[in-house]
């Protein structure tokens, strides 16, 4: 029993890192632009498709991941210029519905571009098979994907905490009016934030490709989880999403030991309980 | 502002126009689609009490629609036939669930409220999905009968004929509309509206805002439950996707597309939404793309919904008329 | 866009064919019969919709565009893979377009919901899908089931495994946590006991699960000889994909009703190599009717037909055959004729069980080929066995058929 729990713990952490990556992008967009990006799941799916096309065209897998990031970031730019900037001043609900509409459009474009049959890609030879930890087997690719997510998250953390761009971003999140008066082009900053967040969703999609394949509807499930993670982490906190992502991954994974069929429902229950005890989420400020 | 008499006269004209429109609808579109428009119209109006009047952005209304549908559906599928009782049970089912969920969520605001209602919707979905012996799970609750009404002297009213069932939906639709309009104009509605604009000030004026918001949440739950019961009876099945969270998203779609500022908006939204889906799906396989574009365009150019369009058109026409003079 | 084009093209070609046929005075008077294909072209099963329409169109075309002196009018509607949309579209097509016959459910939940409308409005529904309820607890006089019964699927697949791999004994099952998965598990238990398999573990996963590593961790630790997938569609694709990432080559993957040929391209060849799958249809089926179908289909679409197209084709072919035999396009006549019919169809010798409306037909077991064995990109597998054992009558829950 103990080995099973440890095995699920390892699995949960690995999966949780991918959730964290998704929710981190969502968190950046929410923090900077103050919009709930309901098209985040569609961007994730776009990333998976782009990565597939890149590796099918003969590019190595890391290049495929970069294409997924860059492509989704560009899509984020387009989304911002064509849609988001017009609803930025509105309430949550109109924003949500508008982005829901945008997600419908993106998903259908994916079907038009890549066909209705889902796609699969096996990871490079080096990442196939499992690592034997003694008490459990961990597929190499899952280990790689979680490590990769951790590295990317750390990289973005350094970008935000240690660079001038990061300082603007932080200022933009904490004191938007003051940032404006300091002569920083806030509009440009917001675009950069949207692109970064969208890019991270695309990257998560690329990373998920060998595990989940590429389908037009893959974004829906992932986005629901990403929003749960975001809210558990706390809206005011940029990094809460990371801890919350790990937590959700672990809870979901451990749940399969006790009651597998309830492993999806449990994360909503966890979210409700957390919000009832701490209305601002785990790391949010009131 | 016109005084009492004139206002009442204008209201009577509007009410008559509404009744005429409802009576004419099944002549224009197939009767089942017309019935569905009215059912979703009821559901959307109830949702608008929350979204438009009270400013409570609920993203979990399908839970109450579904609860009502399943409660009434189970009752009718078990061989009971009393329609009033079925509707009562549906309203109670939606209302009790709304009271529970509302009590736990109503103090949260913005995205937190939205996510809480969404999460509860997911839990309700999960329960209905898993409780297969009662709800039919994935395959939906089948064998629902359309109930009957026993009237003294007149005998039994049956609704197996689709036109009769439309009439039933029409009556419930008009009654819900009248109640909801009255409610938004009553002191209750005015306080909710004030709280939407400034909750703190409304509280400081001595109103217990949360209690009133909870009441609105429960009322919306009751009415949504009744709409759900009608939906179950329409096709004699309660499908699991009626309680899925996308149902909550779609009803909010309807409210926002139509317009939140009056109860006519959500009804318009429901009609357009159901009609557009059918139309687009005949035109092109990739029709959700058109739907998505439509939603984006409406939200960007008509933030007040399609009602805005009518307001603008009539303003433009009256300006034109004045110019001519 | 290309999909829309083919649809339009198809409809035009059917129309042209109908117009080109010699118009006799009596046939014009006799009018038209309206048949519908209600399939998902959006949502999870988006790939299936147009394929079913292709098959149905081909059946009409090869029949000459007319049946029993009536012009055939074909309607297509999108059910979105949602029961609520399915019933709406069926009802609408029946009331405003006069549709009397329809096929197309891809998801059982949609088909079962539509069946309620079919019984009420007296429409003949030729359904497909995995649920045993079509011919069991929710059977109906107006509904026929094209797909094999889950019992037949489990029985055929496990019988083959027993014969081909006598040394494989222990089985771990992964089951979709809804009616369909539970039915497969129920029959797995019965058949496994008869054939001498040992069930060492089972996990239920929720419908739409996208994360299988936590279940697969348990599977790999239990070291069974066989992983039996009692799950289907996108769930199964994801589970297989993630199982491949473990590289546990000692465990054979078997799916009695898991992936139809249409979905095999979703997996990379190395993910499906050696897998044993039950199939409702496979293009290699050796019957004259199937050869004719495959030839016309490949000529027209430069591709091999799959489950969806074969279903559309064979279901329509069967109904048209019944109409000719009944010399009528009245639903009641066609239902009665179908109930007593026995014929050589696409799948082999076929008949309909009048008590349940289950199509009695062979079921096919295939072994998936490795990339090296594949002669073409669509050469996924080879047929290794046929089975046609029907569900034992004492386990059927159909409480009898209603009067017409």
C164-205 pLDDT, tens digit per residue, is 999 999 999 999 988 888 889 999 999 999 999 999 999 988
pLDDT at site B6: 56
- Nearest CA of chain C to the CA of B116: how many Å? 22
Which residues lie below 8 Å from residue A213, measured CB to CB, with a gap of 6+? A48, A118, A119, A120, A121, C237, C238, C241, C266
Inter-chain contact A130–C248, Cβ cutoff 8 Å? yes
With 70 as the cut, is the pLDDT of residue A120 above it?
Answer: yes
Residues A214, A52: contact at Cβ < 8 Å?
Answer: yes
> By the CB < 8 Å criterion, does B235 face chain C?
yes
Please write down the long-range contacts of B198-207, taking CB distance under 8 Å and 24 or more positions apart.
B199/B109
Task: Quickly state the pLDDT bin for C130 (edges 50, 70, 90).
Answer: confident
Chain B positions in Cβ-Cβ contact with residue C135 (cut-off 8 Å): none
Residues C56, C74: contact at Cβ < 8 Å?
Answer: yes
With 60 as the cut, is the pLDDT of residue C5 above it?
Answer: no
CATH topology for B26-324? ABC transporter involved in vitamin B12 uptake, BtuC (1.10.3470)
CA–CA gap between residue C155 and residue C160 (Å, rounded): 9
- Nearest CA of chain B to the CA of C4: how many Å? 6
Mutation for C interface: B123, B139, B286, most C CBs within 10 A: B139
Largest CA distance in chain B: 71
Inter-chain contact C41–B285, Cβ cutoff 8 Å? yes
> By the CB < 8 Å criterion, does B36 face chain C?
yes
Residues A11, A142: contact at Cβ < 8 Å?
Answer: yes
pLDDT at site B5: 54
pLDDT at site B76: 94
DSSP reduced 3-state for C236: helix
Residues B253, B269: contact at Cβ < 8 Å?
Answer: yes
With 50 as the cut, is the pLDDT of residue C122 above it?
Answer: yes
CA-nearest residue to C77 within chain B is B282
CATH topology for A2-277? ABC transporter involved in vitamin B12 uptake, BtuC (1.10.3470)
CA proximity to B236, closest of C79, C95, C114: C114
Chain B residues within 8 Å of chain A (Cβ atoms) = 51, 57, 59, 104, 107-108, 110-112, 114-116, 118-120, 122-123, 126, 130, 245, 249, 252-253, 256, 286, 288-289, 291-296, 299-300, 303
Inter-chain contact B123–A276, Cβ cutoff 8 Å? no
Closest CB to C131 among B32, B139, B281? B139
CA proximity to C212, closest of C188, C233, C230, C237: C237
Could you tell me the CA-to-CA distances from A10 to A1, B121, B189 in Å, in that order?
Answer: 14, 30, 53
Strands, E assignment, C68-192 = 70-78, 101-103, 124-127, 143-145, 170-176
CA–CA gap between residue A190 and residue A33 (Å, rounded): 6
b/e per residue C19-39 (b: at least 16 CB within 10 A): eeeeeeeebeeeebbbbbbbb
- Nearest CA of chain C to the CA of B74: how many Å? 16
Inter-chain contact B138–C180, Cβ cutoff 8 Å? yes
> By the CB < 8 Å criterion, does B290 face chain C?
no
CA-nearest residue to A90 within chain B is B303
What residue ranges do the domains of chain B occupy?
Answer: 26-324
Count of A-C CB contacts under 8 Å: 123
Q: SS3 letters for B248-295?
A: HHHHHHHHHHHCCCCCHHHHHHHHHHHHHHHHHHHHCCCHHHHHHHHH
pLDDT at site A234: 87
Count of B-C CB contacts under 8 Å: 95
Q: Which residue is listed with tokens 């006991």?
A: C193
CA-nearest residue to B232 within chain C is C84
CA-nearest residue to C107 within chain B is B139
Residues C230, C184: contact at Cβ < 8 Å?
Answer: yes
Q: Which residues pair with C74 in a beta bridge?
A: C35
> By the CB < 8 Å criterion, does A98 face chain B?
yes
Mutation for C interface: A120, A135, A250, most C CBs within 10 A: A120
Least confident span in B242-246, B300-304, C335-339: B300-304
> By the CB < 8 Å criterion, does C91 face chain B?
yes
- Nearest CA of chain B to the CA of A250: how many Å? 19
Looking at per-residue pLDDT, the higher value among B322 and B256 belongs to B256
Burial class (CB in 10 A: 0-12, 13-18, 19+), B11: exposed
With 50 as the cut, is the pLDDT of residue A28 above it?
Answer: yes
Closest CB to C113 among B140, B277, B282? B140
Contacting A residues, span 99-128, partner chain B, CB-CB under 8 Å: 100-105, 107-109, 111-112
Average pLDDT over residues B70-85: 93
Could you give the ipTM of this predicted complex? 0.87
C10-51: pLDDT as tens digits: 444 444 444 433 333 333 335 899 999 999 888 778 888 889
Task: Quickly state the pLDDT bin for A117 (edges 50, 70, 90).
Answer: confident
Check residue A83 and report its DSSP letter.
Answer: I
Inter-chain contact B115–A262, Cβ cutoff 8 Å? no
Task: Return the C-alpha torsion angle C329, C330, C333, C336, nearest 10.
Answer: 90
Q: How many CA atoms lie within 13 A of C66 on its CB side?
A: 19
Q: Chain A: list its partners (3+ Cβ pairs within 8 Å).
A: B, C
CA proximity to C155, closest of C394, C398, C386, C396: C386
Inter-chain contact C214–A256, Cβ cutoff 8 Å? yes
Inter-chain contact C42–B285, Cβ cutoff 8 Å? yes
With 70 as the cut, is the pLDDT of residue C359 above it?
Answer: yes
pTM of the full structure? 0.86
Inter-chain contact B32–C95, Cβ cutoff 8 Å? yes
Closest CB to C109 among B33, B138, B235? B138
A150-193: pLDDT as tens digits: 999 999 989 988 888 888 878 877 776 776 666 677 788 889 99
> By the CB < 8 Å criterion, does B160 face chain C?
no
């Amino acid at each position: 029993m103990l080995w099973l729990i440890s095995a699920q713990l390892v699995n949960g952490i690995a999966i949780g890192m991918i959730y964290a990556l998704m929710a981190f992008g969502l968190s950046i967009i929410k923090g900077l632009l103050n919009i709930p990006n309901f098209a985040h799941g569609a961007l994730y799916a776009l990333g998976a498709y782009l990565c597939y096309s890149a590796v099918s065209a003969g590019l190595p897998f890391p290049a495929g991941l970069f294409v997924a990031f860059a492509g989704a970031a560009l899509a984020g730019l387009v989304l911002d210029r064509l849609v988001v900037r017009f609803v930025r001043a509105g309430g949550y609900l109109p924003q949500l519905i508008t982005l829901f509409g945008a997600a419908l459009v993106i998903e259908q474009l994916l079907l038009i571009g890549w066909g209705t049959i889902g796609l699969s890609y096996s990871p490079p030879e080096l990442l196939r098979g499992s690592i034997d930890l003694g008490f459990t087997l961990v597929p190499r690719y899952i280990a790689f994907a979680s490590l990769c997510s951790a590295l990317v998250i750390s990289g973005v953390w350094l970008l935000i905490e240690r660079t001038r761009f990061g300082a603007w971003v932080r200022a933009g999140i904490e004191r938007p009016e003051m940032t404006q008066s300091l002569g920083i082009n806030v509009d440009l900053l917001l675009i950069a934030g949207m692109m970064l967040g969208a890019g991270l969703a695309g990257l998560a999609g690329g990373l998920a490709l060998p595990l989940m394949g590429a389908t037009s509807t893959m974004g829906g499930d992932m986005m629901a989880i990403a929003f749960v993670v975001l809210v558990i982490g706390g809206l005011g906190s940029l990094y809460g999403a990371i801890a919350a992502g790990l937590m959700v991954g672990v809870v979901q994974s451990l749940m399969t030991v006790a009651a597998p069929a309830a492993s999806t429902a449990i994360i909503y229950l966890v979210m409700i309980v957390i919000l009832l005890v701490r209305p601002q989420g785990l790391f949010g400020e009131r | 502002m016109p005084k009492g008499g004139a206002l009442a006269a204008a209201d009577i004209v509007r009410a008559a126009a509404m009744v005429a429109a409802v009576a004419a609808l099944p002549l224009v579109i197939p009767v089942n689609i017309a019935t569905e428009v009215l059912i979703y119209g009821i559901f959307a109006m109830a949702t608008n009490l929350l979204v438009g009047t009270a400013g409570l952005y609920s993203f979990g209304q399908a839970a109450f629609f579904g609860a009502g549908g399943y409660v009434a559906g189970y009752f009718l599928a078990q061989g009971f036939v009393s329609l009033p009782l079925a509707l009562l049970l549906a309203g109670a089912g939606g209302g009790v669930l709304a009271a529970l969920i509302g009590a736990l969520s109503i103090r949260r605001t913005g995205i937190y409220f939205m996510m809480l209602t969404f999460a509860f919707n997911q839990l309700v979905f999960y329960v209905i999905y898993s409780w297969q012996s009662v709800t039919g799970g994935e395959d939906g609750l089948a064998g629902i009968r359309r109930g009957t009404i026993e009237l003294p002297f007149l005998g039994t009213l049956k609704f197996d004929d689709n036109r009769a069932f439309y009439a039933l939906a029409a009556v419930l639709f008009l009654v819900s509309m009248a109640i909801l309009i009255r409610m938004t104009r009553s002191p209750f509605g005015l306080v909710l509206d004030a709280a939407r604009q400034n909750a703190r000030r409304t509280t400081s004026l001595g109103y217990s805002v949360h209690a009133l918001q909870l009441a609105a949440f429960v009322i919306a739950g009751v009415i949504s439950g009744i709409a759900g019961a009608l939906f179950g009876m329409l096709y004699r099945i309660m499908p699991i996707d009626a309680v899925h969270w996308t149902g909550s998203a779609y009803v909010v779609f309807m409210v926002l597309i139509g317009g939140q500022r009056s109860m006519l908006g959500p009804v318009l939204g429901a009609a357009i939404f159901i009609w557009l889906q059918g139309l687009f799906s005949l035109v092109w396989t990739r029709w959700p793309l058109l739907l998505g574009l439509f939603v984006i365009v409406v939200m960007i150019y008509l933030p007040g919904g399609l009602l805005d369009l009518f307001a603008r058109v009539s303003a433009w026409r009256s300006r034109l008329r004045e110019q001519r003079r | 866009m290309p999909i829309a084009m083919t649809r339009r093209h198809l409809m035009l070609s059917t129309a042209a064919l109908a117009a080109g046929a010699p118009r006799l005075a009596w046939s014009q008077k006799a009018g038209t019969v309206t048949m519908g294909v209600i399939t998902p072209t959006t949502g999870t099963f988006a790939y299936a919709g147009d394929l079913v329409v292709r098959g149905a169109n081909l059946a009409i075309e090869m029949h000459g565009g007319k049946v029993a002196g009536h012009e055939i009018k074909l309607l297509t509607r999108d059910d979105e893979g949602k029961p609520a949309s399915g019933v709406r579209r069926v009802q609408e097509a029946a009331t405003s377009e006069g549709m009397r016959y329809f096929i197309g459910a891809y998801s059982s939940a949609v088909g079962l919901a539509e069946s309620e409308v079919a019984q009420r409005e007296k429409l003949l529904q030729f359904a497909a899908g995995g649920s045993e309820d079509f011919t069991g607890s929710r059977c109906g006089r107006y509904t026929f089931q094209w797909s094999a019964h889950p019992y037949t699927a489990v029985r055929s697949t496990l019988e083959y495994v027993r014969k081909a791999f006598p040394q494989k004994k222990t089985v771990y099952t992964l089951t979709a946590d809804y009616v369909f998965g539970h039915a497969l598990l129920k029959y797995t238990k019965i058949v496994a006991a008869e054939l001498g398999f040992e069930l060492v573990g089972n996990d239920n996963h929720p419908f739409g699960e996208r994360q299988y590593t936590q279940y697969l961790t348990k599977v790999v630790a239990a070291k069974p000889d066989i992983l039996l997938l009692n799950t289907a569609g996108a769930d199964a694709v994801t589970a297989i994909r993630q199982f491949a990432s473990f590289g546990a080559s000692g465990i054979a993957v078997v799916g009695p009703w898991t992936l139809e040929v249409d979905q095999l391209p979703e997996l990379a060849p190395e993910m499906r190599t050696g897998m044993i799958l039950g199939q409702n249809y496979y293009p290699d089926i050796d019957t004259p009717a199937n050869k004719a179908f495959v030839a016309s289909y490949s000529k027209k679409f430069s591709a091999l037909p799959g489950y969806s197209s074969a279903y559309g084709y064979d279901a329509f072919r069967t109904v048209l055959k019944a109409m000719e035999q009944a010399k009528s396009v009245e639903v009641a006549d066609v239902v009665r004729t179908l109930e007593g019919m026995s014929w050589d169809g696409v799948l082999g010798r076929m008949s309909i069980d009048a008590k349940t409306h289950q199509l009695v037909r062979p079921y096919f077991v295939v072994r998936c080929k490795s990339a090296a064995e594949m002669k073409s990109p669509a050469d996924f597998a080879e047929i290794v066995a046929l089975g046609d054992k029907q569900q034992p009558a004492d386990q059927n829950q159909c409480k009898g058929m209603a009067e017409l």
